[in-house]
Structure 1
Amino acid sequence: MKLTKKICLAITALALIVTPFLANCNQIQTVAAARTSKKTAKGKITLIYDAHLYNKYGHKIKNKKADLSNADNDINGYRYIPNFDAGIVEYYGTKIINGQKFYNIGDGCYINAADVKEVNGKNSKKGKLVLLQKSAVYTKAGNKSGYTLPKRAIVKYQGKVKQVKSKPKYYYSKYFKSDNDEHFFYLPLTKIKGKNYYAIGKNRYVKAYNVASLDGYPLTYNGVTTATVLKKTATQTIKNKTTKHVLKKGQKIKVDLAVQPWAEDFEGYIFRLHDHPNEYIDESYINLRNYLPTSNYFVQVCSFVKSKKTANIKLYDVTGNPVGVSFNAAELSIFNVDGLFYIWNATTNKAELYYHLLSSSFNKKDLLNNDGTQLSSPKTDSQNAGSTLTTAEKIISVNSFVKASDVKFYDGIKLSPLNKPAETEQKQKIATDSDKAQLQKAFDSGQQIGDSNGRHGELMLSYDYALVNAAVVLRSAKATLAQVDQANWLLETTKTQIDTLYFEDFS
């Protein structure tokens, strides 16, 4: 993620407290700098995060068309190398500029050593932290020691980094090839007067909030941080729709999460505004103070449950009766759900809790007959073949449930029941025409909605099937108040999902 912090390192007389070092960066691909002369590269460096380019005077380079593969301009025109594009950068020497060490990468461009993780394959930041701003050094009692560290200071820390399963307040993460999973690491903190510090020497501490990287990895702050708006812009929704909320250049905002947008080839994150949780700002428009935890689009807009067992999971209808279809646990054990209901089961004579399935999130290969055999006909279908489904199959597709007792919450938005157990029995009364008036109105208006550009086929198909379900309830002389309420909910929910969700088409 883009976290270009302009943190300069100056040499200070803190020999008893810190040992300034300057080093390298981490990445995935290779960047070769153009050379103005036939110099031989002295080695390679990898970046910790995005690295701005500097000239020989230590000034950021602006709008220079340097012949550097993968170099780009930030929102204000300053040149930088994005960390997710640049893996390995050749360098041709080092230079001390204004008391800081820089790597010469050719064509008059330099990279601050504080942005560098590895030099010739060796982690130069192991056992060290890098400060993102000028920081006072404190004693155990919480008093200032009289020493101050400059921006981008590279400092040896005390203590041992430990691995942890869940995200602590401050941590860094990395992926292992063995399981391709994210693992979390943290350096134990010292609490002084209610604030978090890292030990950097005997009776010497710096605020954890002022640390940019640890062991050569960006330090993530699991909290609310600030960002400076770099250019006037409006915020956006998670689905990339512009809002009327305009942010001014130079404005300070609070952000609390980095979200991967819905895209197959995203090139960055959008950040959630803490005071406006439904609004986001693209990373290119802000200067972020601290790295934040990352999430993805689906976790922010969807709810997921996971099977508690390896056996196939039965699907039920709105009355709590099996529909004859099950999820194939070998194909799918995590389900996307969009509602949580108490349903009155006449057989057991009690209310039970069920999750409503989001039909657009699975396809026909995920389903089996309850006896484990393959379906003779698809229970979900693509938009083009939707007409081949019977009315019953369309209703199963859009309005099926799994028992809450068969699954457990897995990720995303945690749902709360939309009704209460006590009212489920009361709602078993047969609905009158008057009781169906609201559903009839929603059904009539829904028939006028046609497909249009930007509406996703699967989600639109779910809405069409919700209309089919509503029509059946409206025609039925035995439909209960509970069924009418649920049909209303289904129409409203599937209609909203057309404008708020993205999903792949299933066939």
Structure 2
Amino acid sequence: MKLKKRIALGAIASVLALGSFATVRQTNEVFAATTTTNTMKLVHGAYVYNKNGKRLKRFQGSRYKTHLYKGATVKFADKLESIEPNTKQYFLLDDDNYHQTWLPYTKIGKSYYYNIGSGGYINAANVGQINQKPLYTAEATVKVKTPNSFPVGRGKDSMMIKNKQNIKVDRTTLKQEDPSAVPSYRISGTKTGFLAKSVVVIPPRQKLLTFSGYTYVLVNASINTFNNKGEVRENQQPPFEAYRPFGKGDKLPVDELLYIWLPKENKAELFYHLLGDSGMGDIVYVDNSKDNLSYLKADDCKYIGGPFLTPVNTPEQAKADTQLATSTEKSDLQKLIDQENVVKNSESYKEFKHDGYDAALATAKKLVASDTATVMEVKQATFVLKGQQEKELKSPDELSLLDYVTDTKPY
């Protein structure tokens, strides 16, 4: 009889325990938001704190609401605001991949807290999304696992990475390492400290901005390239009229955004100047763009990383620059041509002899001697030759460092 009584009491206790657990789960589900507006999704379990950063024993009248589970969606109390890029620890990236928005947070000690109303706050480090958009962090700490120590970085950035080491990182990138590109983090405070993601065992909870030495755009369709008159380049003319050098998904480096006047359409359009000596494209494209004067329609691309470009001219200036260039307007280009011997006697030119400089120089000489060169052609030739000259006049060590940093692209 006593045994039966104990079994019965045990069964009742089990039911009560299950009921208590169900109540906890139900309470958290009730607390979690059911809409996607003004909500945060947790990437990690989170406790609820007060405005002083002290854990609450009860929240909204319940002790069960003081802890939220990973994956929970929670309402926030403040409003999203636009900010200057890279001025906050936690932020959202706008659709243009450059401008940023933030949800105001309160910093208490070394941590940041979001207001969820009713006097409650949660640690921003536990949030993965806001309004269904990924949350970014300016910097994160990762943990390394490696059987042997190894070096990273160049020059003053050089350091040894050890097993179980915690390292602060601030960007992600694809670092070109022969024979392939390696997904990597950039170590905070460095320009050349790239850490392969494959050795990281505890990655960041939030996203990091991408890093690339050059500006990159993402091609959204099979596209042509153009000259600075807005005409399709020769490599897409007969017998190659069906040939288009780039396709959807290609990531291309560019270094200038400008308006080009299209006479047939009587309007100006935005174009990106394609970095001609970037090694992109197949042999037909490369053969027709050695002068570094190929352009992509901005509407065919989307900015994805690197220095953010703004137009260097206006539509009105683009139209005016279709006029023939005078000798005065060619003077800056002539000054660069006059530096030919200086460049060709430089240490870097003798050691590496980049074809890009020779091609830009040949184009410049041709335009200066031409009676039909337009102001736009002269300006663009000046831009390209100046860039090539600056590169050649760097020391071999400086050039090697530049190449190392620019061997990166958005990941």
Q: 1:406 maps to which residue?
A: 300
1:257 to partner: Cα distance: 3.4
CA pair 225-267 structure 1, distance change in 2 beyond 3 A: closer
Contact preservation (8 Å) 1:456, 1:503: no
Q: 1:39 maps to which residue?
A: none
1:208 to partner: Cα distance: 4.4
Alignment match of 2:224 (pick from 314, 336, 340): 314
Q: Which amino acid aligns with 1:444?
A: D
Q: Distance in 2 between matches of 1:436 and 1:190?
A: 52
| Secondary structure, aligned partner of 2:233 | strand
Alignment match of 2:216 (pick from 284, 295, 303): 303
Alignment match of 1:353 (pick from 261, 264, 270): 270
CA pair 477-323 structure 1, distance change in 2 beyond 3 A: same
Q: Distance in 1 between matches of 2:310 and 2:51?
A: 46
Q: Which amino acid aligns with 1:257?
A: R
Q: 1:257 maps to which residue?
A: 171
Matches within 5 A, 1:56-455: 139-140=49-50, 142=52, 144=54, 158-161=68-71, 169=90, 195-196=112-113, 207-209=123-125, 222-225=136-139, 240=154, 242=156, 256-257=170-171, 261-263=175-177, 269-273=185-189, 279=191, 293-294=207-208, 298=212, 300-307=213-220, 309=221, 312-326=222-236, 327-329=244-246, 333-363=250-280, 365=282, 378-381=284-287, 393=288, 398-450=292-344
1:265 to partner: Cα distance: 7.8
Q: 1:3 maps to which residue?
A: none
Q: Distance in 2 between matches of 1:295 and 1:455?
A: 38
Q: Please tell me the root mean square deviation across aligned C-alpha atoms, in Å.
A: 5.1
Q: Distance in 1 between matches of 2:211 and 2:105?
A: 35
1:319 to partner: Cα distance: 1.5
| Secondary structure, aligned partner of 1:338 | strand
Structure 2: stretches of 5+ with no match in the other structure:
1-41, 58-65, 74-88, 93-102, 129-133, 142-151, 158-167, 197-203, 237-243, 393-398
Which gives a bigger RCO, structure 1 or 2 (Cα 8 Å, sep 6+)?
2
1:351 to partner: Cα distance: 1.9
Q: 2:379 maps to which residue?
A: 485
% of aligned pairs identical? Answer: 21
Q: Distance in 2 between matches of 1:262 and 1:455?
A: 25
1:481 to partner: Cα distance: 2.1
CA pair 161-485 structure 1, distance change in 2 beyond 3 A: same
Q: Distance in 2 between matches of 1:423 and 1:456?
A: 40
Structure 1: stretches of 5+ with no match in the other structure:
1-126, 132-136, 148-155, 172-188, 215-219, 228-237, 244-253, 285-289, 368-377, 382-392
CA pair 456-261 structure 1, distance change in 2 beyond 3 A: farther
Q: Distance in 2 between matches of 1:196 and 1:301?
A: 35
CA pair 295-406 structure 1, distance change in 2 beyond 3 A: closer
Q: 1:66 maps to which residue?
A: none
CA pair 319-266 structure 1, distance change in 2 beyond 3 A: closer
1:321 to partner: Cα distance: 1.8
Structure with more of its chain in helix, by fraction = 2
Once structures 1 and 2 are overlaid, which stretch shifts more, 489-498 or 421-430? 489-498
Q: Distance in 1 between matches of 2:216 and 2:209?
A: 14
Instruction: Give me the TM-score of the superposition, normalised by structure 1.
Output: 0.43
1:489 to partner: Cα distance: 0.7
Q: 1:109 maps to which residue?
A: none
Q: Which amino acid aligns with 2:262?
A: N
Alignment match of 2:362 (pick from 450, 464, 468): 468
Q: Deviations over 1:244-296 (max 9, x none)?
A: xxxxxxxxxx97435565535879744344xxxx8566779xxxxx8874566
CA pair 240-259 structure 1, distance change in 2 beyond 3 A: farther
Q: Distance in 1 between matches of 2:315 and 2:104?
A: 48
